Amino acid sequence: MSAPSSLFFLSILPSLHHFSLLLHFFTFPPFCLSIHPFLSVSLPPTDSSDSDLELSTVRHQPEGLDQLQAQTKFTRKELQSLYRGFKNECPSGLVDEETFKSIYSQFFPQGDATTYAHFLFNAFDMDRNGSIRFEDFVIGLSVLLRGSVTEKLNWAFNLYDINKDGYITKEEMLAIMKSIYDMMGRYTYPCVRDEAPSEHVDKFFQKMDRNRDGVVTIEEFIETCQKDENIMNSMQLFENVI
Partner 1 sequence: MATGVAAWLPFARAAAIGWMPVANCPMPIAPRDNSKKQDELIILNVSGRRFQTWRTTLDRYPDTLLGSSEKDFFYNEEIKEYFFDRDPDAFRSILNFYRTGKLHYPRHECISAYDEELTFFGIIPEIIGDCCYEEYKDRKRENLERLQDDQEENMDLKMPNMNFRETMWRAFENPHTSTMALVFYYVTGFFIAVSVITNVVETVPCGATANQKDMPCGERYTVAFFCMDTACVMIFTVEYLLRLFAAPSRYRFMRSVMSIIDVVAILPYYIGLVMTNNEDVSGAFVTLRVFRVFRIFKFSRHSQGLRILGYTLKSCASELGFLLFSLTMAIIIFATVMFYAEKGSSSSKFTSIPASFWYTIVTMTTLGYGDMVPKTIAGKIFGSICSLSGVLVIALPVPVIVSNFSRIYHQNQRADKRRAQKKARLARIRIAKSGSANAFLQSKRNGLLNELLELTGTEEDEQKLTQKSISLLESQHHHLLHCLEKTTAHEFVDEQIYEQNCLETALQTYPSRSPSVSSHDSSTRTCCSRKRKRNVPLPNTSLPTTHSTHQGPLQELSAIHIQCGDPLSHTASRSNLNLKTDESSRINCKSGRITTAIISLPTPPALTPDGDGLHGPPQRRPPQPPSHPPPLSIQTTTSSAGANIVKVSAL
Pick 26 or 241: Cβ nearer partner 1: 241
Stretch that binds partner 1, among 22-30, 39-47, 50-58, 78-86 (CB under 8 A): 78-86
Q: Is 15 in the site for partner 1 (CB under 8 A)?
A: no
Considering only 180, 184, 192, 218, the residue that binds partner 1 (CB under 8 A) is: 180
Pick 164 or 203: Cβ nearer partner 1: 203
The residues in 101-120 that bind partner 1, with binding defined as CB under 8 A, are 103-104, 106-107, 109, 120
Pick 21 or 236: Cβ nearer partner 1: 236
Measured CA to CA, the distance from residue 166 to residue 116 in angstroms comes to 20
- What SS3 class is residue 38? helix
Pick 24 or 84: Cβ nearer partner 1: 84
Pick 28 or 104: Cβ nearer partner 1: 104
Nearest to 232 by CA among 141, 156, 140: 156
Q: Is 133 in the site for partner 1 (CB under 8 A)?
A: no
N-term to C-term CA, the chain: 55
The residues in 202-241 that bind partner 1, with binding defined as CB under 8 A, are 203-204, 221, 225, 230-231, 233-235, 237-238, 240-241
Helix 149-160, helix 170-182: angle, nearest 10: 100
Helix 196-208, helix 170-182: angle, nearest 10: 130
Nearest to 178 by CA among 224, 96, 114: 114
Sign of CA dihedral 237, 140, 121, 224: positive
Q: Contact 208/156 with Cβ under 8 angstroms?
A: no
Measured CA to CA, the distance from residue 12 to residue 85 in angstroms comes to 47
The residues in 24-53 that bind partner 1, with binding defined as CB under 8 A, are none
Pick 66 or 89: Cβ nearer partner 1: 89
Pick 94 or 177: Cβ nearer partner 1: 177
Measured CA to CA, the distance from residue 137 to residue 132 in angstroms comes to 7
Measured CA to CA, the distance from residue 147 to residue 141 in angstroms comes to 9
Nearest to 139 by CA among 180, 86, 217: 86
CB of residue 211 vs partner 1: minimum separation in angstroms? Answer: 18
| Contacting positions for partner 1 (CB under 8 A) | 1-2, 5-6, 77, 81, 84-86, 88-89, 103-104, 106-107, 109, 120, 123, 137, 141, 144-145, 152-153, 155-156, 159-160, 176-177, 180, 200, 203-204, 221, 225, 230-231, 233-235, 237-238, 240-242
